Amino acid sequence: MTTSHESGFFTEETSAEVVIARNANAGNERLKQVMAVITRKLHEAVKEIEPTQDEWMQAILFLTETGHTCTDWRQEFILLSDVLGVSMLVDAVNNRKPSGASESTVLGPFHVADAPELPMGADICLDQKGTPMLVHGRILDTAGNPVAGAKIDVWQANDEGFYDVQQKGIQPDFNLRGVFRTGADGRYWFKGVKPKFYPIPDDGPVGKLLAALGRHPYRPAHLHYIIEAEGLATLVTHIFDPDDPYIASDAVFGVKDGLMATFKPVDDPARMADAGFAAPFVEVAFDFVLAPQPA
């Protein structure tokens, strides 16, 4: 007499194996592998949690609402991936760095292609609101050599925690965005404004989930960078203010020890004049080390 496992029938004990076996003829081997792992882990979770029928329906309705919240400008499933730490885990798996190279972090939803290329030292704060900030440093390779011709794409939120694309008609287009290229010495510098922490969109199902879990929706203050150079791996990263109130509890888990910068207040008149500011400003110095291009 054959058992249910041998006959391919579905039971509580054999559920994952039966489903995985049913996918044996998948034409794509990678898809078959991925679905086997997902099926196994999902069935393990159900067996451990033992959800009621009502609880499982609530899970399905949550995912349905998440999909309905997605639009051309809002991706609620990416937000869900972010707050569960999956986005950062995928980033970590795909960006393992050699010793000494700068760490990556998530791109975020507010990058805009084709930001204007500006002369080194330009001010990206077009509306002149907030505390002025000078950011400078070097782009290096892992041997410590300066990287000439590196393209540095930077963007940030303003002093109220908003990006220009969130405040059309209030902030100028391309406010607090710019592209710079390093010279032979690998140095970069530009002016901006001291950023502020801000909430991820929390008016949808993911925000409700965070509230139910007793979590806040805030990201600590940071600056975004994409750094590209010939023969070196592209770096997508942030630098963070270690004194931010949310630095230890970033809603999307993007903070890393190696990405902490010092936001130093400067009120010395001579330093202000040298930096081209008429008022006290914040100085941020940070070097980036690019890894070799993977084979």
CB-CB contact of 263 with 284 (8 Å) = yes
Q: Where are the domains of the chain?
A: 1-50, 98-200+210-290
Instruction: Please give the average per-residue pLDDT across 196-212, as a whole number.
Output: 96
Question: Hey, what long-range contacts does 204-213 have (CB within 8 A, 24 or more apart)?
Answer: 204/65, 204/66, 204/69, 204/74, 204/76, 204/79, 205/62, 205/65, 205/66, 205/69, 205/76, 206/66, 206/76, 206/79, 206/80, 206/83, 209/62, 209/80, 209/83, 210/83, 210/251
Residue with tokens 């930096």: 275
Mean pLDDT of the chain: 95
Is 247 within 8 Å of 240 (Cβ atoms)? Answer: yes
| Rounded mean pLDDT, 100-127 | 95
Residue 7: the pLDDT is: 60
What pLDDT is stored for residue 295 in this prediction?
A: 75
Average pLDDT of the residues in 263-281: 95
Percent of the chain at pLDDT exceeding 90: 94
DSSP string covering 183-244: -TT-EEEEEEE----EEPP-SSHHHHHHHHTT---EE--EEEEEEEETTEEEEEEEEE-TTS
Does position 86 have pLDDT exceeding 50, yes or no? yes
120 closest CA partner among 154, 163, 158, 157: 154
What mean pLDDT do residues 206-213 have? 98
| Strand pairing class (288-290; 132-141) | parallel
Tens of pLDDT along 145-183? Answer: 999 999 999 999 999 999 999 999 999 999 999 999 999
pTM: 0.89
- Quote the tokens at residue 169: 């008609």
Beta strands 222-229 and 151-156, pairing class: antiparallel
* pLDDT of 27 above 60: yes
What number is the average pLDDT over the span 246-268? 97
Residue 206 is predicted with a pLDDT of 97
As a whole number of angstroms, the distance between CA 194 and CA 239 comes to 12
Q: Is 269's pLDDT higher than 50?
A: yes
What integer is the mean pLDDT of 95-120? 93
Token representation of residue 201: 């969109």
Considering only CA atoms, which of 294, 110, 71, 114 is closest in space to residue 219?
Answer: 110
Q: Identify the pLDDT of residue 38.
A: 98
- Which CATH number fits the domain 98-200+210-290, given the four candidates 2.60.130.10, 3.40.50.720, 2.40.50.430, 2.60.120.260? 2.60.130.10
What's the rounded mean pLDDT across residues 252-267? 96
Residue 8, pLDDT score: 78
pLDDT at 4 over 60: no
